[in-house]
């Protein structure tokens, strides 16, 4: 048996998304139905064997309340794993993921440092009526370089799988010369660039923004070059990202509209 390993994990996310409930479900095999807000930080520890190595997981369960923002700051230091949780039945908790990502990036010391930490996004409460799709969760995770898991602390679905991922990836990281990895284990079949490009095309306010062009200085050649570049990324025959077909159709329409406009001048 290899030398035992100690790992530090912190949990972040909005209040009432179920961070503490996930931990209790795994560690104590029970569900706590009455909501009790975490006051500052709650601490727990659990063991498992991963890659023939006993691993002690030290869990710092951090309150998501704004009042404890200063308390959270010191606990980011030396974290080996960050578990970011949102409630699949609550869109606001999903929208707030960007704020949590920004906090983690700031407290860890920048995106390059954060990329060296095992980062996992978890959708909890999948037993409820969903307001955030699995695709949306996977897309956010892929864009930000997180692994993605789903679970229900209520009935236990996916909780063991989540912790098996936590143990296996952190042990793998330490065995890689002590250099943490941030290698999402779930292959979703498309890249961060493809997702971001699809979203940019669909959410653009006008045709010029869609192609990334200046409306005051644009030529026919500019339109064709911008179209060719973006179409090469989101073409449905090559891109498996959700809504890529919609994005490609918008690109074709945009190209035709702008070229016709330029011809009419």
| Whether residue 78 sits in one domain with residue 163 | yes
Coil, strand or helix at 62: strand
What's the rounded Cα separation, in Å, for the pair 26 and 152?
Answer: 11
**How does strand 41-50 pair with strand 53-62?**
antiparallel
CB burial of 73-99 (b: ≥16 within 10 Å; e: otherwise) equals eebbeebbbbbbbbbbbbeebbebbee
Tell me the average pLDDT across 200-211. 93
Residue 120 within any structural domain of the chain: yes
pTM for the whole structure: 0.73
Q: Residues 156, 197: one domain? A: no
Task: Please give the pLDDT value at position 1.
Answer: 60
Last residue of a domain, which of 141, 175, 209?
Answer: 175
Question: Which of 175, 201, 234 represents a domain boundary (last residue)?
Answer: 175
Specify whether 201 is located in the same domain as 164. Answer: no
Residue 182 belongs to some domain of the structure: no
132: CATH? 3.40.50.300
Torsion (CA) 17, 22, 25, 27 in degrees, nearest 10: -140
| Structural domain contains residue 52 | yes
The total number of structural domains in the chain stands at 2
Percentage, residues of the chain above pLDDT 90: 51
DSSP state of 4: P
Are 231 and 166 in the same domain? no
Task: Pick the last residue of a domain from 143, 175, 207.
Answer: 175
Claim to verify: residue 26 and residue 57 sit in the same structural domain:
yes
- Stretch among 38-47, 50-59, 63-72, 224-233 having the lowest mean pLDDT: 38-47
Place of tokens 């209790």: 24
- My answer on whether 53 and 94 are in the same domain is yes
Are 169 and 240 within one domain? no
**pLDDT tens-digit series, residues 71-103:** 888 889 989 999 999 999 999 999 999 999 999
More confident residue, 139 or 176: 139
Same domain, 196 and 129: no
Do residues 129 and 9 both lie within one domain? yes
pLDDT higher than threshold 50 for residue 186 = no
pLDDT average, residue stretch 144-160? 94
Task: Reply yes or no on whether the pLDDT at 111 is more than 90.
Answer: no
Query: In this structure, what CATH number is given to the domain that contains residue 227?
Result: 1.10.287.110
Kindly state whether residues 120 and 32 are assigned to the same domain: yes
- Predicted local confidence at residue 243, as pLDDT: 86
Same-domain check for residues 155 and 94: yes
pLDDT value, residue 206 = 93
Do 123 and 38 lie in one domain? The reply is: yes
pLDDT at position 134 is 92
Q: Which domain holds residue 218?
A: 192-263
Indicate the angle between helix axes 244-263 and 192-203, nearest 10 degrees: 50
Sign of CA dihedral 191, 195, 198, 201: negative
């Amino acid at each position: 048996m290899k030398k035992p390993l100690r790992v530090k994990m912190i949990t972040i996310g909005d209040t009432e998304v179920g961070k503490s409930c996930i931990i209790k479900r795994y560690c104590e095999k029970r569900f706590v139905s009455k909501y009790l807000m975490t006051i500052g930080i709650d601490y727990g520890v659990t063991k498992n064997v991963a890659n023939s190595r006993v691993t002690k997981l030290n869990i710092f369960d951090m309150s998501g309340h704004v009042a404890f923002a200063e308390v959270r700051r010191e606990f980011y230091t030396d974290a080996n794993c960050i578990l970011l949780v949102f409630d699949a039945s609550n869109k606001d908790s999903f929208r707030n993921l960007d704020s949590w990502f920004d906090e983690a990036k700031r407290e860890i010391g920048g995106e390059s440092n954060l990329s060296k930490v095992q980062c996992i996004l978890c959708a909890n409460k999948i037993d409820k009526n969903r307001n955030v799709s699995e695709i949306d969760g996977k897309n956010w995770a892929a864009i930000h370089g997180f692994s993605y898991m789903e679970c229900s602390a209520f009935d236990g679905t996916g909780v063991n799988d989540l912790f098996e991922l936590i143990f296996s990836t952190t042990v793998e990281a330490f065995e890689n010369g002590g250099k943490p990895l941030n290698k999402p284990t779930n292959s979703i079949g498309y890249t961060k660039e493809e997702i971001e490009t699809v979203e940019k095309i669909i959410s653009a306010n006008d045709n010029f923004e869609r192609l990334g062009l200046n409306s005051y200085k644009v030529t026919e050649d500019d339109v064709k070059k911008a179209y060719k570049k973006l179409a090469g990324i989101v073409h449905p025959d090559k891109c498996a990202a959700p809504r890529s077909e919609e994005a490609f159709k918008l690109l074709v329409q945009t190209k035709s509209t702008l070229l016709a406009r330029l011809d009419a001048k």
